[in-house]
Structure 1
Amino acid sequence: MGHHTFDADRADKLEDAGRRYRYVSGEELLWALAPDPDDTVADLGSGTGFFTDVVAPHADTIYAVDIQAAMHDHYAEKGLPDNVEPVTTGIEELPFEDGSIDGAFSTMTYHEFASDDALGEIQRVLTDSGRLAIVDWSGEGLGEHGPPLDERYTVETVSEKLRERGFTIEHAFTRPETFLLVATIE
């Protein structure tokens, strides 16, 4: 695992739409992930399911992957869509078959699981045409929100790590506090 995980006792903060959409909108996430209605998708670090709920109407099955069972409890209390299945695990040990996931996304959680093992697992479970969308706090950010700057990555660093794992970078954008990256399997 990368650095710290978000404190589940503060899960209500993850439901603040004004704050969450400030860094990535639902439309932007859907554009980056580009799910088809028959796709199987994984939300890597789903937390309370805020962005899982954005993607769920656009996919057949969505796995809400989080290492903290307390986050799944919070999500269950607010109500899971019928096509969402919570999965409690680390990204380094995904319980999915090889090539079984059409798309995966991470919103503000890459810095929590960034490792070669995690990237290897993501690569393993994605289909040959699998798509990965990452929005995270930028190492070039201002540091006014999110994790400390020394726990963040630059889009260049993440791009290089993904290329080493056989991904092609389709889009990479840096914003004042975050970055957005879209990659596919080569």
Structure 2
Amino acid sequence: MKKTVDEHADRFDDHAPDYDDEKTEEHHRSAELVVEHASPEPDDVVVDIGTGTGAIALALAPDAGRVIGRDISEGMMDEARSKAADAGLENVEFGYGTFREPEYDGDVDVVTSNFAMHHLSDEAKREAIAVIADLGPRTFVLGDVMFFDEPDPDAPFYSPDVDDPATVGLLADAFTDAGFSLTAVERIHDQVGVLVAERTPTADVEDASDE
């Protein structure tokens, strides 16, 4: 991580009021695909990490049993809470949490995240995916800045001073190591994509044998 958690939180607090207006077309398309692939059942619990102003969480709430949004920026979550209240959504809640410490220990069926994990170092991404696997979701849908090819140094989609995107290959390996199978890869841009990971049957068997 090229900035501390507090530095990132302060930066996003400052941008919270205008954040939705600053999103790119690729960001919006990524969010659409994350929602589409998450596809929660009516009784599902969804955890959305790096929830920001709640775009994913609020879109999934009408179809899920409960949605928990986690973020480091209170300013961003205040925007999300306001939008949830305006929409009359009572099954969604927002609170502080990080990828490696999501601050939630209940049942989880689906985990989502959009345009947030790229702030972590590669090692921290692996740790985060392992932590998410320990929550026990059947599905993890990640939309983010990621490298499909060698990035053009003259046209980065990200901010090199604060962002640290990974290659698709590294993320795929991290999912596999954590007991997931990568079931879909959506390439939106050379530097933006959505990955869908499902729990593998062997992982479920191992979890059951440990009980």
Give the TM-score category using the shorter length. Answer: 0.7 to 0.9
Task: Give the alignment partner of residue 102 of structure 1, picking from 83, 98, 109.
Answer: 109
Q: Which of residues 127, 137, 140 in structure 2 aligns to 1:117?
A: 127
Question: Does residue 153 in structure 1 map to residue 166 in structure 2?
Answer: yes
Structure 1 residues 134 and 26: alpha-carbon distance in aligned structure 2, compared to 1, 3 A threshold: closer
Asked if 1:9 is matched to 2:19, the reply is no
Residue matched to 1:135: 143
Distance 1:145 1:20 in 2: 12
- Please give the alpha-carbon distance, in whole angstroms, between the structure 2 residues aligned to 1:163 and 1:78: 36
More deviation, 155-164/7-16: 7-16
Given that 2:96 and 2:103 are in contact with CA atoms closer than 8 Å, whether structure 1 keeps it comes out as: no
Distance 1:47 1:32, change over 3 A: same
- Identity of paired residues, percent? 24
Preserved CA contact (<8 Å) 1:48 1:72: yes
- What is the alpha-carbon distance in structure 2 between the residues aligned to residue 92 and residue 26 of structure 1? 22
TM-score (norm 2): 0.75
Distance 1:87 1:77, change over 3 A: same
Distance 1:40 1:20 in 2: 28
The one of 47, 51, 62 equivalent to 2:67 is 62
| Partners of 1:169 and 1:183 within 8 A in 2 | yes
- Is the 2:27–2:115 Cα contact (8 Å) retained in structure 1? no
RMSD between superposed Cα atoms in Å = 2.5
2:97 is aligned with 1:92: no
Mapped to 1, the partners of 2:128 and 2:47 lie a distance apart of 13
- Give the match's secondary structure for 2:24: helix
Whole-angstrom CA distance in 1 between matches of 2:146 and 2:26: 16
Q: Relative to structure 2, which stretch is displaced further, 102-111 or 62-71? A: 62-71
* Contact map agreement 1:26 1:54 (CA 8 A) in 2: no
Give the whole-Å Cα distance in 2 for the aligned partners of 1:3 and 1:175: 25
Distance 1:17 1:7 in 2: 12
Separation in 2, partners of 1:103, 1:163 = 17
Which among 29, 38, 41 is matched to residue 24 of structure 1? 29
Match of 1:77, SS state, is: helix
TM-score normalised to the size of structure 1? Answer: 0.84
1:115–1:47 distance in 2 versus 1, CA, 3 Å: same
- What residue number does 2:209 align with? none
- Are residue 178 (structure 1) and residue 186 (structure 2) matched? no
1:15-57 Cα offsets, whole Å, 9 max, x none, are: 2387356542554223211211111001110011122211111
Indicate the larger mover: 56-65 or 80-89. 80-89
Aligned length: 182
Measured against aligned partners, the alpha-carbon deviations of 1:73-127 in whole angstroms (never above 9, x if no partner) come to 23223344211111202221223336x1100111011112443332222011124
- Alpha-carbon shift at residue 14 of structure 1 (Å): 2.8
Is 2:12–2:75's contact at 8 Å kept on the other side of the alignment? Answer: no
Greater C-alpha Rg: 2
Secondary structure, counterpart of 2:173 in structure 1: helix
Alpha-carbon distance, 1:67 to partner: 1.6
